[in-house]
Structure 1
Amino acid sequence: MAPYPFVRARSFRGNPDRFSGSSTSNSSSPDNPLRQKPNSHLLGAFTKAWGKSGLAEAALDDVFIDDITFPATDGYLLGATLFLPRGAKSHAVLINSATATPRKVYRQFAGYLARRGCAVLTYDYRGIGDSRQKAMVGYNQTKSLAGFNATMSDWAGKDVTAAVAWMRERYKALPLNFVGHSFGGQALGLLSNNTEVSRALFIAAQAGYWKLMASPENYRVYAMLKFVGLPLTRLMGYAPGWTGLGVDLPKGVFEQWASWVMSERYLFTDPRLPGLSNFANYKGALRALCFSDDPWATRPAVGLLCSGLAAIEPEILTIKPADIGATRIGHFGFFRPEHRDTLWRGAAEWIQA
C-alpha cells in the first residue's frame, strides 16, 4: 500500500476540557505551533494529494487541540490527539485508523467535526506513530519493531477497546459515535464494549479478502503479501514500511493481517479470534461508505464485513467521484480537505443526527 500524507500538528494550551492525565503538548498559546520534525518521505505525497499545509493549519485555529497519551487495557501508553470545540459539545467521536496509518491523516477531518461541536479523539495503535516506543539512543528516534509483540487482535481488544472506554468515561452525557477507516471499521465488531457506541460510520471499511479486491490490484496485493511481505517480515522480525506499506508494522500484525487477506471470509474464520462473538452485540446505527474507485474496499468486501453485524441492518452507500464533482476518491481520499463541503458535511450531519 502506498505511503500516506499527513499534516504537521498545531497544538493549543488553555484547553477548558483539559485531559487530567498525561499530555505531550508543548505549546503555551494558540499562536505557538507544536514543533514536530516532518517526515520527508511523506512530505511530497502530502503536497501533491492534499494541497498546502498552511491553508489546512489555518482551518484548525478555532479548535482546541491537545496531544495526549492514554493507557490501553494492558497499560501500554498510546499517543493520541484530542480536538475540542470552543463552544458547547454535542457529541463524542472516536476516529479509528486504517492499517499502517498514523493518526495525522485524520487531523483535518477531526478538526472539522470539532468545529461542529464534537469532542473528537484520534490515536495511534501500538507500534504505529506516537504509540511506537522510543529508542534509548539518539534524539527522538523510534525503537526497532523487531521483537515487538502485537497483533491486530491486540489493536482491537486492547487499544480500540480502551479508546472507547476512555471517551465513554470522559463524555458520559454525550452520544458516543465511532468512525472506522478500513481496519478501524473492522475493529468495531471485535470490541467487548461496542454496545457503548451509538452510531458507527465506516469509511472504506471492508472484509479484505484478496479476491474481493478489484483486478489487477488483487493480484498485486496477493503477490506482495505472499512472496515479498511475509518472507521479508519473518526474516527481519517486522514488516518494513519501505516495501510499500508506508510505515513499519509489527510482525504479528502483518502476519495476522496477511492470514485474513488470504481467507475467503477474512477475519470471520480466524479460530484464534475470540472477539468474533462481539459482532452480534452491536445494536447501534451503522452507515458504511464505499467508493467506486477504491480497489480494496469494493462493495462486496464492504458488504461481507457488514454482514457480520447480524443484529442490525447496516446502510451501505456506494459513492462515485462524479457524484461529488471529484475526479477520484479511492481508499484514502475521503479525508482530503477538498471534500469538506461534500463528503465531510454529509458524514457530519449523519454522525450528529
Structure 2
Amino acid sequence: MQSFTSQDITIKCEDGYPLAASVFKPMNVVKGAVLLGPATGIKRQFYTSFAEFLAAHGYGVLSYDNRGIGQSLHGSIGQHTASLQCWGQLDQPAAIEALAGEFPQSNYHLVGHSAGGQLIGLAPNAFKLSSMFNFASSSGRLLNMKLKDQFKSHFFMNMFIPFSNFLFGHTKSQWFGMGEPLPSAVGAQWRSWCNGSGYVKTAFGKTVEKHYFDELTFPAMWVNAVDDFIANDKNVQDMMAVSPNIKSQTLTLDPIEYGLKEIGHMKFFSRKSSVLWQIPLQWLDKHTDSK
C-alpha cells in the first residue's frame, strides 16, 4: 500500500510567472521536507521515482520545472526570456516558499542536481534550508576537464550553442541528449559561466549584483561520480569555493562498487540506480528532526 500521496500544483514566482510543480506527501509523520533542484533542461518527471522513494521514507518532497522547461514553458521557446540567473533568483526562491507552504513548521533541505545545487546562493531565502545534498553540482569549467573532454565540451559550448541560438532562436540541447530545448539566454549564460571559474561567480558584479553565497553556513554534501567528466573533482572544488562558509563534505562514487555499469552526470536519479539512494536518505536522516 502506498504510504504517500502526490499532486501537481502551480507555483507563482515573485514576478508572477507560473511554474509547474509536484508535491509528494507522506501519509504519516513528516520527518522533513525536501526541494528537488533540477539540472539544466531537465523536467521534474525525471525525479519522480526518487521523490517517491523519499516520500515513502517520511519526507515531504517538491519537484518543479524551471521557467522555459517542460510544463513551465509558456509561449514560444524562441521568444522566451528565461536565464540561468532567473532560475536562481526567481524560480528557486518561489519553490522554497512553496515547500514551506506545503510543509509548515518542518525543516527544509535541498537535494540539488547540477544547476539545482549551483544556483542556491542566488536565492534570498536560502537561509531557510537546514542542509543541502548535491549530486553532480560543479562549476563545469571547461579548462578543468581532461583534454579529450575539453574538445567535445568546447564544441558544444562555444560552437553549437551560439550556432543554435542564431539559427533557431534557442539551444537545441536535446540533440546532444541533454534534456529539453533551452531558451537562448539559458544557453548563452551556461556557455559563459562554464568558460570561466566558479560558474555563477563569473557574473558577480556584472549581471549578478546581489548574491548570498558568502552567507550560507548550512552543512552540505557534494557527491560526484568517477565517470562524470563534467562534475569532476576539480570542478566540484571550484564550485564549493564560491560558498566558503558552507560546512562541506565530499563523496566520489564508483559505479563498480555499487554493481552499476555507469552513474555519470545523470544516472544517480534513475530507478536503476536506486541502490545509491540510501546515501541521500542517510544524509537527510542525520540532518533532520521530526516535528
> Could you say which TM-score interval applies, normalised by the shorter chain?
over 0.9
How far did 1:242 drift? 4.3
The superposition leaves residues 124-167 of structure 1 with CA deviations (integer Å, 9 ceiling, x where unpaired) of 0000001011xxxxxxxxx4211211111110100001111221
Of 49, 59, 71 in structure 2, the residue corresponding to residue 108 of structure 1 is 49
Q: Which amino acid aligns with 1:331?
A: H
Candidates 221, 224, 240, aligned match of 1:287: 221
Which of 192, 207, 211 is the equivalent residue of 2:124?
A: 192
Shift of 1:279: 0.1
How many residue pairs match? The answer is: 283
Deviations 1:36-85 (A, max 9, x none): xxxxxxxxxxxxxxxxxxxxxxxx94431101111112111100110111
Matched position secondary structure for 1:274: coil
Per the normalisation by structure 2, the TM-score is: 0.93
Whole-angstrom CA distance in 1 between matches of 2:179 and 2:63: 19
Q: Which residue of 1 aligns with 2:278?
A: 345
1:11-38 C-alpha deviation (Å, 9 max, x unpaired): xxxxxxxxxxxxxxxxxxxxxxxxxxxx
Contact kept, 8 Å, 2:43 with 2:179, in 1: the verdict is no
- 1:167 aligned counterpart, secondary structure: helix
> Which of 209, 217, 227 is residue 274 of structure 1 equivalent to?
209
Cα deviation, 1:236-294, whole Å, max 9, x if unaligned, reads 2211244323311111111111111111332212121224x300111111001011111
- What is the rounded CA distance, in whole Å, between the counterparts of 2:36 and 2:189 in structure 1? 22
RMSD between superposed Cα atoms in Å: 1.5
Cα distance in 1 between the residues matched to 2:76 and 2:22: 24
Aligned equivalent of 1:230: 162
Task: Verify the 8 A CA contact 2:197 2:238 in the aligned structure 1.
Answer: no
List aligned pairs for 1:239-278, cutoff 5 A: 239-244=171-176, 245-270=178-203, 271-275=206-210, 277-278=211-212
Aligned residue for 1:48? none
Point out which structure has higher relative CO (alpha carbons under 8 A, 6+ apart). 2
Q: TM-score, normalised by structure 1?
A: 0.77
Answer yes or no: is the 8 Å Cα contact 1:208–1:301 preserved in 2: yes
Aligned partner of 1:349: which letter?
Answer: Q
SS at match of 1:149: coil
Structure 1 residue runs of 4+, over 6 Å off?
none
The counterpart of 1:162, out of the listed 79, 94, 105, is 94
**Residues 293-335 of structure 1: CA distance to partner in whole angstroms, max 9, x if unpaired?**
1111001101111111111231011111122222211111111
Mapped partners of 2:284, 2:169: distance in 1: 40
- Structure 1 unaligned regions, length at least 5: 1-59, 134-142
Q: Residues 194 and 281 of structure 1 are in contact (CA less than 8 Å); yes or no, is this contact kept in structure 2?
A: no
* Map of 1:3 onto structure 2: none
* Identical-pair percentage: 29
One-letter amino acid of the counterpart of residue 253, structure 1: V
Which structure's residues are more often strand, by fraction? 2
Please point out which of 288, 295, 300 is paired with 2:234. Answer: 300
- Unaligned 5+ residue runs, structure 2? 287-291
2:266 and 2:175 map into 1 onto residues whose CA distance is: 19
Aligned pair in 2 of structure 1 residues 241, 327: CA closer, same or farther (>3 Å)? closer
Question: Which of the residues 131, 135, 139 maps onto 2:72?
Answer: 131
Tell me by how many angstroms 1:339 deviates: 2.8
After TM superposition, the structure 1 stretch with the greater mean CA deviation from structure 2, 188-197 or 223-232, is 223-232
Query: Is the CA contact 1:95–1:180 (under 8 Å) kept in the aligned structure 2?
Result: yes
CA–CA distance in structure 1, aligned partners of residues 147 and 179 of structure 2: 22
- Show CA shifts across 1:176-231 (max 9, x none): 00011000010112211111100100011001111223442221111122222212
Q: 1:219 maps to which residue?
A: 151
The residue type equivalent to 1:145 in the other structure is I
Matched residue of 1:352: which SS? helix
Secondary structure class of the residue paired with 1:343: helix
Residue 69 in structure 1 maps to residue 2 in structure 2:
no
